[in-house]
């Protein structure tokens, strides 16, 4: 199985020190104006958390949150996922974060659709 932290890092459009997050957030939202209407979803990933933690806790919670925000959880356009691990923060587009799930679970989009429906019913 692929090391999910390596796969996560490979999909990140930027990796920063966690302490730089607020400055980077300000940069990406252009001083709080946020003309691109980006939504940030923050994931604190403690040391030693296995892939199953993301699969069973983070992704379902994110799907429900996005649905409540009227964003398609299967295609989270304009979403940036900030995953904090140790002193690093990985910034991924929502689409790339979903791609990580598909790779790790060896799942296609159709199967993912049914998984999301299941999460939304929980």
pTM: 0.93
Residue 41: both structure tokens together: 């979803």
Which of 30-34, 36-40, 59-63 has maximum average pLDDT? 59-63
CA 28 – CA 19 distance, rounded (Å)? 16
Helix axes 94-105, 4-11, angle to 10 degrees: 150
pLDDT for the residue 1: 58
CA 80 – CA 35 distance, rounded (Å)? 14
- Mean pLDDT, to the nearest integer, of 69-79? 95
Is the pLDDT at 110 greater than 90? The verdict is: yes
pLDDT for the residue 89: 97
Is the pLDDT at 31 greater than 90? The verdict is: no
DSSP 33: T
Reported as a pLDDT band with limits 50, 70 and 90, residue 75 is: very high
Is the pLDDT at 103 greater than 70? The verdict is: yes
Residue 14: both structure tokens together: 């930027």
């Amino acid at each position: 199985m692929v090391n999910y932290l390596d796969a996560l890092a490979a999909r990140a459009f930027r990796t920063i020190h966690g302490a730089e997050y607020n400055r980077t957030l300000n940069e990406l939202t252009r001083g709080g104006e946020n003309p691109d209407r980006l939504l940030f979803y923050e994931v604190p990933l403690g040391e030693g958390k296995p892939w199953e933690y993301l699969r069973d806790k983070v992704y379902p919670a994110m799907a429900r949150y996005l649905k409540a925000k009227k964003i398609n959880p299967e295609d989270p356009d304009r979403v940036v996922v900030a995953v904090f691990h140790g002193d690093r923060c990985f910034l991924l587009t929502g689409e790339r974060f979903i791609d990580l799930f598909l790779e790790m679970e060896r799942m296609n989009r159709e199967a993912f659709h049914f998984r999301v429906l299941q999460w939304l019913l929980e």
